[in-house]
Amino acid sequence: MMKKLNKKEIIKITAKLKPFWKEYWKISSEFNKKILNLQKKMNKKLKIGTELEFFYVDGECAGIGAENYSDRKFFPLIQSNDLL
């Protein structure tokens, strides 16, 4: 069982974690750029009159739907299991 860390120990560990945090954000940023490019490609190819996006529930991609909430009456959310 881990003991409770004191403030000095937390500061020391935080300093060691910073490079990992920076690398995480770099990877995350690159991934998000790729997802945005894929959405642009999808919208350019489909040209259905509303912009589509991948939508997320609890941090997981759950499907594709209209980017603008009010457009969802015209284009419903399509669940991931319907896209498999």
Q: What is the pLDDT of residues 30-44, one digit of tens each?
A: 999 999 999 999 999
Is pLDDT at 79 greater than 90 in this prediction? yes
Instruction: Kindly list the domain boundaries of the chain, sorted by start residue.
Output: 1-46, 48-84
pLDDT at 2 over 90: no
**Three-state SS for 51?**
coil
Q: What is the pTM of this model?
A: 0.81
What's the confidence (pLDDT) of residue 36?
97
Which of the four pLDDT bands, split at 50, 70 and 90, describes residue 62? very high
Average pLDDT of the residues of the chain: 96
What phi and psi values does residue 23 have, to the nearest 5 degrees? -65, -40
